[in-house]
Chain A
Amino acid sequence: MSPAWKSEPARIAGEWHCFRQVAPDWPPLYHAAGEPSPSQRSARWHRLGEGYAQYLALEPLGAWAELVRFERIRGGTRAAQYRRRLYLVFVREREIADLSTFERWADCGLDPRAAVGDHGACQAIADDLRAAGYRGVLAPSAALDGATNLTLFGARYEKVLLGGLERWENPNPELRLPCSLAAEGTPPEQLIVETTFADMPHDGYRAWLRAEGLRAPRGVP
């Protein structure tokens, strides 16, 4: 880990039921086998051309809020025009960095503002985490106060289940994840007012600052 770290985040193992929304013509997880250079658009925990990341949310509204924030959907008419598939993704993983709360960021010597601010700091943290053998990271959602995202580093391939989880024994847990189609539809309208857009302060981060007796910075988040 780089010198910026005061301590490593806890390495946790566990099972999570996660949510991920994708366009109807897309597979549930991000993979693009054989392409000359990874083409997944840069986001919070990876940069374009430097591999893949599976962006998952622990709450269904967290998954939808990512769409609302990315697309900057600020009205019901626009929201109603989207067609997405929401998948339930069953994750059984290990070596997950627990940065799920702002306190845990601070405990590691990281600036909690980075959790919900610009992506550059998180991308650099992801470099350190991958180099230290972590397979993913739990972190607060920048898009929805109170929600938590689980991001897995690298490609994963889905097994879309028709029945229950017990019907399939995962032959390759390093690479395969069972998924179920949970819903097909449009983002819930309530998220138009609940989503934290990139130009807005993040209520959860601000609440943590207040609880710590710290002054809120100028600007966002």
Chain B
Amino acid sequence: MSALADIPQPETLRDKAEHVRALIAPIRAQPVPAPADLAAARAERQRRYDVIEDSILDLSSALPQGTEDYDARKLFEFLVGLRRAIAADTEVTDPGGEIELIGLMMRDVLARIERRLLHDELDDPRAAVDFVFATLERVSAGDLARLLGVSTKTIGAWRAGRPVTRNGERAVVLAQLISYLRPSLTPLGIVLWFDAERDQLDGRTPLQLLDRGVASAHAPLVALARGSRGQLAG
């Protein structure tokens, strides 16, 4: 956990989740400790574990549902497994790879928490619009207007900080979709994604679905945006 000093201290709830995930980052292989160093290696690993445990406690207590949160409970389950695996690994070699595997599983849970917290933030239409503008910074006002379903004049007003009083639901859904797409698409690519006919939508484009109705478009478009991130067999 030598990289701990490089990790900024968390400020928001989502920062806290990212912080814990960074703590559990895959650890590069260390040489098997010599017998003389074994006690120091055990102590160092215990210190790392304590930091992780403290951070998870901090995160879970800050979540709106606290320890009743489903994913927080999963984290605690894995944390117990991690503690037991560490206790059983007296030679500090993790011969069965169990400690590393539990770390990967905990990172899955933390990634889900981060995604959920981001979407919670984007449930506010103003935050959603700001997120869209920031992600699609150089996209024309005309394209932004098409995506958000408003006039270019409204885009200008929103850019100037005016309140988002209409199409807020569409802005929220759009921001959520963009949150899935942005790691693997350029801003232009995101715009083109909304304009591309899709087999999964019976030949319609995502934008056509949004224009028909935000509520009915939400589930199929989220599934499409999520589903494209890892290879499937078509």
Contacts and interface: CB of A to CB of B under 8 A. Distances in A.
Contact of B234 (A21, A23, A198): A198
A55 B227 CA distance: 13
A78 interface: yes
Interface residues of A, number: 59
A45 B227 CA distance: 15
Nearest to A39: B226
A175 B105 CA distance: 12
Contacts of B213: none
Interface stretch (B34-42, B45-53, B96-104): B96-104
A172 B97 contact: yes
Given A82-B184, A84-B184, A63 B231 contact: yes
Given A25-B183, A43-B234, A142-B234, A34 B199 contact: no
A30 B230 contact: yes
A34 B109 contact: yes
A66 B231 contact: yes
Contacts of A157: 101, 104-105
Contact of A43 (B71, B192, B232): B232
A139 B233 CA distance: 10
Interface in B199-234: 199, 223, 226-234
Contact of A55 (B29, B109, B197, B233): B233
Contacts of B184: 23-25, 82-84
A206 interface: no
B188 A81 contact: yes
Nearest to B184: A23
Query: Which of A57, A63, A157, A168 is most buried by chain B, counting CB atoms within 10 A of its CB?
Result: A157
A77 B192 contact: yes
Interface residues of B, number: 44
Contacts of B223: 41
B230 A198 contact: no
A135 B10 CA distance: 42
Interface string B53-78: 00000000000000000110010011
Interface in B75-117: 77-78, 94-98, 100-101, 104-106, 108-109, 112
A10 B98 CA distance: 33
B229 A82 contact: no
Given A67-B231, A149-B233, A34 B105 contact: yes
Given A34-B78, A78-B196, A81-B186, A41 B227 contact: yes
9 contacts: A31-B104, A35-B112, A66-B234, A81-B186, A81-B188, A82-B185, A139-B233, A162-B28, A198-B234
Given A24-B184, A43-B234, 20 more contacts: A20-B230, A20-B231, A22-B231, A25-B184, A25-B229, A27-B104, A30-B230, A34-B108, A41-B232, A43-B233, A69-B234, A70-B227, A71-B196, A72-B197, A142-B233, A143-B234, A170-B97, A171-B94, A171-B97, A172-B98
Interface of A: 20-27, 30-36, 39-41, 43-45, 55-57, 63, 66-67, 69-73, 77-78, 81-84, 139, 141-143, 149, 151, 157-160, 162, 167-168, 170-172, 175-176, 197-199
7 closest cross-chain pairs (CB), A and B = A81-B189, A41-B227, A33-B105, A171-B97, A43-B232, A34-B74, A23-B184
